[in-house]
A and B are shown apart, each in its own frame.
Chain A
Amino acid sequence: MIPLQAQLPDGGWTYVVSIVAVSLYVSLTAVGLSTLFSLPVALGIGFTDFRGKRLVTAVVNTGMGFPSVVVGLLVLILLSNSGPLGSLDLAFTPRAMILSQFVLATPVLLSVSLSAVEGVDQSVRDAAYAMGGTRVDVGLAVIKEARFGIITAILAGFGRAISEVGSILIVGGNIVYSDGQSYTRTLTTAITVEARQGRYEVGLVLGVILLALVLAVNGLGSWLRNQDRGERSV
């Protein structure tokens, strides 16, 4: 049997580390941006009654099941040389991957945080306002009350982003430098390459790292939910 070290492509463990780094950089950035976008939007939708609110909510919920390859294709068309954002020269870069993961994570984040925000009793908003809170203070009070639901939303968004493969394969191109450093190769896209080339053990190592990351995220989510239950029963 060929030792794992020998199976690793050029760069050895640096290859693996750089892949993990690119994966985390792309997914954390996408989820961070998505959080900044989704929370105010969730508060806006949750706080106001407007015509078509149910339709908007339905569209957001539908977006959770959006096929990632379709998102990748659309983002690539957008960023390709002949596309409307072609002049930005973003195709096949980590930024393009961030954009596609942002599009994929946002419906998850928005939908879960919207239901968390809508679950906060009106009395919390009333109390924050009546105690002299500004509109921002009222929003922050609601976010604090919905914090565990919102953290769950962020973790769910991260889970969706870190484990998806279709869109980043299309818009990132799965590129590795000749010295084995990853440019746009992530854990998921690397696994597809390793499987195709028969380097199953390397693929398995990457798979275990990916599973460990997802497990850690879920573990964090469960721990926070338990904290919430513990806090309420102090």
Chain B
Amino acid sequence: MTLSVTDVTAGFGSSTVLRNVSLAVEPGEVVTVVGPSGTGKTTLLRLLATFRRPDAGTVAWDDRDIWTMADDERLGVRRQVSMVFQEPSLFNAPVHRNVSYGLRVREPWQARLRRGLRELVGSSRPADTVVSALETVGLADVGDQNALSLSGGEAQRVAFARALAVDPAVMLLDEPTSNLDPHNTALLENAIERARDRGVGVVVATHDMHQAKRISDRMAFLHDGELVETGLPEQLFENPTDARTARFLDGELLVGDRSGSRAPQSPTADP
């Protein structure tokens, strides 16, 4: 089960955000998409999550174009992919209701109505997968709290648990730790590794290079809407093939800076 984009171009109005980007995530690997803020990482993840069609190129599930599938089939694919946003985006409801959301929308209507009636009379308890997902992020004890009363770090971990509870094949994480303290960041990174170990393919957009180094199996460097290079973390960190990657790693490159070219140390390498 491979989720991929091939030669995708996408933009808003007259501005192009992504140009001819190709990337794939395989089961059981963590791919980090790194690059300066505003470089198109979120747009790439939203294309992978089928929030929108690309202007050109294809988004594919096992080499089948998602946007040529029938609606039902595309929904089936969507339901194997879950996403965590930069902001936790939780519902005004108890934590266990948030975490079980994805499971509930996958149930037939009759089962949902029955569950709703059971909840009205107060005789329902969270599913085991909900409890297990909350345990993975170390929050098994907050299930009954309202999600909006949690701290930022806890809320983001609940958002991760919500995405994990549906047993996805692929998880898309958009800057999941950008607002978190080191403790919560470590907990979430640990949860990402556990998901990867379960065979989930994970795409993480981040501008935190230290984090990318810690969790990546593969890295992709995106700059100004172009995928500059992809490779193993050690390759990108120690021997980048593009000068823009090197400058970003040195903390010099900002979005909109197009002055990069091939790095002098490896002029023939393919980005």
Q: Which residues of A are in contact with B by a Cβ distance under 8 Å?
A: 121, 123-124, 126-134, 137, 141, 144-145, 231-234
Across the two chains, which residue of chain A brings its CB closest to B72? A134
Q: Are B149 and A144 in contact (CB under 8 A)?
A: no
Across the two chains, which residue of chain B brings its CB closest to A131? B102
B-side contacts of A234, CB under 8 Å: 145-146, 149
B-side contacts of A124, CB under 8 Å: 89, 91
Q: Are A233 and B149 in contact (CB under 8 A)?
A: yes
Q: Which residues of B are in contact with A by a Cβ distance under 8 Å?
A: 49, 51, 75, 78-79, 82-83, 85, 87, 89-93, 101-102, 105-106, 145-146, 148-149, 159, 162-163, 166, 172
Q: Are B105 and A131 in contact (CB under 8 A)?
A: yes
Q: Are B148 and A123 in contact (CB under 8 A)?
A: no
Contact of B83 among A121, A130, A137 (CB under 8 A): A130
Across the two chains, which residue of chain B brings its CB closest to A127? B89
Majority SS at the chain A contact face: helix
Q: How far is the CA of A132 from the CA of B49 in the complex (A)?
A: 10
Contact of A131 among B51, B145, B149, B163 (CB under 8 A): B163
B-side contacts of A145, CB under 8 Å: 91-92
A-side contacts of B105, CB under 8 Å: 128, 131-134, 137
A-side contacts of B166, CB under 8 Å: 131-132
Q: Are B75 and A141 in contact (CB under 8 A)?
A: no
Contact of B93 among A121, A132, A144, A233 (CB under 8 A): A144
B-side contacts of A134, CB under 8 Å: 75, 105
A-side contacts of B75, CB under 8 Å: 132, 134
B-side contacts of A121, CB under 8 Å: 89
How far, in Å, is B99 (CB) from chain A's closest CB? 10
Q: How far is the CA of A131 from the CA of B163 in the complex (A)?
A: 7
Q: How far is the CA of A141 from the CA of B104 in the complex (A)?
A: 12
